[in-house]
Amino acid sequence: MGNRMKARIEGIGTYRLILDTKCHLDLVKCLYVPECARNLVSVAKLDEVGFNLKIGNGAFSLYRHSYYYGSGTLVDDLYRFNLDAMYADSLFLVEHGIGNKRNVHDDCSAFLWHQRLGHISKERILRLVKSDILSQLDFTNWDVCVDCIKGKQTGHTSKYPAMRSNAPLELIHTDICGPFDIPTWGGEKYFITFIDDYSWYCCLYLLYEKSQSVNTLEVFIDEVERQLDRKVKVIKSDRGGEYYGKFNESGQCPGPFAKFLESRGICALYTIPGTPQQNGVAERRNRTLMDMVRSMLSNSTVPLSLWMHALRTAAYLLNRVPSKAVPKTPYELWTGKKPSLRHLHVWGCSAEVRIYNPHEGKLDARTISGHFIGYSEKCKGYRLYCPNHSTRIVESGNARFIENGRFSGSGESRKVDIRELQNEKFTVSTPTQGGIPTPSVSTQIVVPFVASQSRDMQGQQIDTRNTQSERIRDEPSDNVQFTNEQVIPQEMALRRSTRQKRPAVSNDYVVYSLEHESELSIDKDPVSFQQAMKCNDSEKWFNVMKEEMKLMDVNQIWELVELPEGSKRVGYKWVFKTKRNSKGNIKRYKARLVAKSFTQRDGIDYKETFSPIFKKDSLRIIMALVAQNDLELHQMDVKTAFLNGDLEEEVHMDQPEGFITTG
C-alpha cells in the first residue's frame, strides 16, 4: 500500500470498465483488496499496454494509437473515469463520495441462478429454460455445490452383495435387546442373541446388565466350539459401548468385550455409528422374537412377568422352522439332524401335569392344573407354570395339554392375575340339612388352618394356600365341632386387616440363593498369583495387590532382613475374591496377602492364638443405648484392620512374587 501497510489480496483477475464512449477497458491482473477504500487504476500499467493520457484543466483524455477511448474528471484530488451511466450505477455505490467495489454478475451463469433459486436441482433449471421462463444459460461453470451437500445430505448406505459363510461359526451376529419395563422373576431386563451366519441358528441368554455380555460370550464360545469342534472366527456387532468400548482421536479404546475377542484371536466387525441396518441379521431376529412374544402373551392368560419363558420358546421354535435365508431349517444345518415337531404345543395353554410326590395320598388328585410355558433345555420334558403348587415353575414329561382353552367340565376358563400372590382368608359357611337352615349356628364360621408358605426363588411374594379349608367346606355341618355351644343370636362380621403381609424369608436369602444357582455365568476367582496374571482381569488383580502391599508398607507390618541362621521361613498365599452386588454384577476386586502359619508348631513358634469374634450381645447393648438416649448410629468399614496388636514373636516370611525387593 502507499502508506507501507500490508493488506490481504482476496483475488486476481481481469476487470472490465465500460467508458462513456462505449469503449471497453480491460484491466488485466487486477487485484481485489477489500480493505482498499477506493478503486485505483495504475497509470504505469496503462502506459505499458500503449495508452496515452493528456491532462489539463481538471480533466484527462485517454488515447491509444491516436484513438480516443474516453475521459475523466478531477474529484477529491483524484481523476475519476467517466463511465457509462447504466454501468456506473451497477458498479459503484456512492456513500459520502466514496465508491465501494461490487462483484460483476454474469446473468447467463446457470450456477448463479442455482444459488438465486435456493439451490434447486439442475433438472428443474433446465425445465425453466425450456419453458422460456429463463433465457439460455451457460452450464459450463456448473460445479459441485458444497452448500447443497451440507444442506441436503441424507443417510446413505452402500448396498454390497451379502457374503454368506460356508461353514458354521465362520461369522456370528450378536446384539443386545433391552431394557424392558417388566423384569423377569429373576430380575433380568436384557437378552443377548448369537446367530450363526451359515445356519441362522440362534442362541439366547438373559442378562441383568449389559456388562454381563463378556461372561455370556465366553460361555457361548466354549459351548459351541466344544459341540461343533470348530473355532469362532468373526463376530459382528453394533458399535455400542458394551461391544466396542470408546473412540477418541487416537482410535479405539477397546472395552472388556473387545479385549476378550483379541485374547481369543477372533476378528471383530462393527457397524458405522448410526447405521443399525449394517447389523440387520441380529436386529431383524430380535424384532421377530419380540413379535412372537407379544403374540403368545396376547393368546394366553399367564402373568406378563413370564415373558422370558415365551422368549426362550420363540427362539426354540425359530431354530426349527424354515427361513428364506437358508435352504434348510437352522436346526438341521447346525446339528445335521431333521427336527421333530410332534411334541410342540400352544404356548400358555392349560395343562394337567403329574408331579412326582412321595407323600401322595390314596385319595389325593393325581394331577395339578397349570399352564404350558416352554420346553426343558437339558431334559426331555416340558416347563409348566402351576400357580397352586409350592414350586410354581415345574418340569415334567407327564402332562395332558388342553389346547382348546377350556377345562373339561368347567364352565369358565381359568383366570391368571399378576397379583395372585397376595394372601387370602377363608371362611366356611354351614350348609343346610334337608332344606331347613340350622338356627343355632352362624352362617359364617372362622376355621383355624395352617398356612403353607412357599418360597419362590425368583424373588416373588409368599404364596399362601389353604388346602384344609377346602376340605371342610365339603363336609356336613354335624362334623364341625364348637368349643362353645351357646347360640349366637346374630352374625358378627369379622374385621379383616388391609395391611399387606411381608414374606417371612428375607429377600437377601433369595439373592444369595440366586447367586449360588447362577455360578455357571460367574467367573471363578484365581487361586494363585500365576493364575491371576493369566486371566482376563489380570490388570485389575495386580492393582488390588499393589494396594494391599501399599497398606502393609504404611502400617509397617514387616521389615526386610536377611534370614538368620537356624531360622525357617514360612510361605505366603494371595487370597483373591470378587465382590458382587445383589444383581450379580462385579462391584470390586479384593486381594489379601496371608502367611502360611500352619507350618509353625504350638509351643515352639507361638504360645497362644487369637480369633477375632464378635458377640451379638454387645451389638444389642449398643442398639439399646442408641434407642434410649436418642443417639445417631453410624456404620463404617475398616479396609485393613489388625486386631492382634503387636506381634512379640519373630516370623520370617518369603517376599511375595511380583513384589520382590533386591538389595
Residues 575, 598: contact at Cβ < 8 Å? no
Q: Give 591's contacts (C-beta < 8 A, 6+ positions apart).
A: 532, 541, 544, 545, 547, 548, 574, 575, 576, 577
Per-residue pLDDT, averaged over 171-180, amounts to: 91
Dist CA 57 CA 152 (whole Å):
61
Q: How many helices (H) and strands (E) does the chain have?
A: 15, 26
Q: Give 471's contacts (C-beta < 8 A, 6+ positions apart).
A: none
Cell of 233: 472366527
Does the pLDDT at position 516 exceed 80?
no
The band of 405, judged by pLDDT with boundaries at 50, 70 and 90, is low
Q: Which of 203, 210, 205 is nearest to 232 (CA)?
A: 203
Q: Does 96 map to a domain?
A: no
Encode pLDDT of 229-270 as tens digits: 999 999 999 888 888 888 777 777 888 899 999 999 999 999
* pLDDT score of 450: 37
| Ramachandran region, residue 501 (left: φ > 0; alpha: ψ -120 to 50; beta: rest) | beta
Q: Which residue has the higher pLDDT, 563 or 322?
A: 322
Dist CA 469 CA 239 (whole Å):
59
Within a 10 A sphere around the Cβ of 21, how many other Cβ atoms?
13
Within a 10 A sphere around the Cβ of 412, how many other Cβ atoms?
7
| Ramachandran region, residue 461 (left: φ > 0; alpha: ψ -120 to 50; beta: rest) | beta
Structural domain tally of the chain? 4
Q: Does 375 map to a domain?
A: yes
Dist CA 206 CA 394 (whole Å):
19
Same-domain status, 188 and 123: no
Q: Which residue has the higher pLDDT, 248 or 79?
A: 79
Q: Does 655 map to a domain?
A: no
Cell 455360578 locates to 519
**What radius of gyration do the chain's Cα atoms show?**
45
Q: Which of 452, 482, 446, 456 is nearest to 467 (CA)?
A: 452
Dist CA 54 CA 46 (whole Å):
13
Q: Does 282 map to a domain?
A: yes
Q: Which residue has the higher pLDDT, 578 or 432?
A: 578
Residue 274 is part of a domain; what is its CATH number? 3.30.420.10
Per-residue pLDDT, averaged over 569-598, amounts to: 82
Same-domain status, 177 and 310: yes
Same-domain status, 117 and 41: no
Residues 345, 403: contact at Cβ < 8 Å? yes
Same-domain status, 118 and 178: no
Sign of the C-alpha dihedral computed for residues 219, 225, 227 and 228 taken in this order: positive
DSSP state of 322: -
Cell 479384593 locates to 590
Same-domain status, 125 and 254: no
Q: Which residue has the higher pLDDT, 613 or 259?
A: 259
Same-domain status, 283 and 191: yes
Cell 429373576 locates to 186
Residues 572, 654: contact at Cβ < 8 Å? yes
Dist CA 258 CA 235 (whole Å):
10
Dist CA 284 CA 329 (whole Å):
17
End-to-end Cα separation, the chain, in angstroms: 76
Same-domain status, 188 and 289: yes
Residues 467, 454: contact at Cβ < 8 Å? no
Task: Please give the mean pLDDT across all residues of the chain.
Answer: 76
Does the pLDDT at position 489 exceed 60?
no
Within a 10 A sphere around the Cβ of 23, how many other Cβ atoms?
15
Dist CA 80 CA 640 (whole Å):
93
Same-domain status, 353 and 330: no
* pLDDT score of 384: 92
* pLDDT score of 468: 39
* pLDDT score of 509: 47
Q: Does 228 map to a domain?
A: yes
Degrees to nearest 5, angle at CA 395 with 392 and 401:
90
Encode pLDDT of 138-153 as tens digits: 887 787 888 888 888 8
Same-domain status, 70 and 120: no
Within a 10 A sphere around the Cβ of 371, how many other Cβ atoms?
24
Within a 10 A sphere around the Cβ of 212, how many other Cβ atoms?
23
Q: Which domain holds residue 285?
A: 171-334
Cell of 267: 476378528
* pLDDT score of 645: 60
Dist CA 304 CA 493 (whole Å):
36
* pLDDT score of 438: 39
Q: Which of 419, 182, 462, 215 is nearest to 309 (CA)?
A: 182
* pLDDT score of 608: 66
The band of 285, judged by pLDDT with boundaries at 50, 70 and 90, is very high
Per-residue pLDDT, averaged over 47-58, amounts to: 86
Per-residue pLDDT, averaged over 347-367, amounts to: 88
Same-domain status, 323 and 354: no
Q: Does 386 map to a domain?
A: yes
**Weakest mean pLDDT among 152-166, 269-283, 537-551:** 152-166
Compute the 3-state secondary structure of the chain and give helix, strand, coil in percent, each to the nearest 5: 25, 20, 50
DSSP string, 66-79: TEEEEEEEEETTEE
Encode pLDDT of 492-508 as tens digits: 555 666 666 666 555 54
Percent of the chain residues topping a pLDDT of 90: 19
* pLDDT score of 108: 80
Q: Does 220 map to a domain?
A: yes
Sign of the C-alpha dihedral computed for residues 83, 87, 91 and 92 taken in this order: positive
Dist CA 469 CA 427 (whole Å):
8
Same-domain status, 51 and 129: no
Cell of 256: 472388556
Question: What is the CA 386 to chain-centroid distance, rounded?
Answer: 33
Residues 102, 72: contact at Cβ < 8 Å? no
The band of 87, judged by pLDDT with boundaries at 50, 70 and 90, is low
Q: Which residue has the higher pLDDT, 99 or 513?
A: 513
Q: Does 92 map to a domain?
A: no
* pLDDT score of 502: 62
Encode pLDDT of 112-141 as tens digits: 888 888 888 888 988 988 888 888 888 877
H or E element: which one contains 546?
helix 538-554
Same-domain status, 138 and 65: no
* pLDDT score of 606: 63
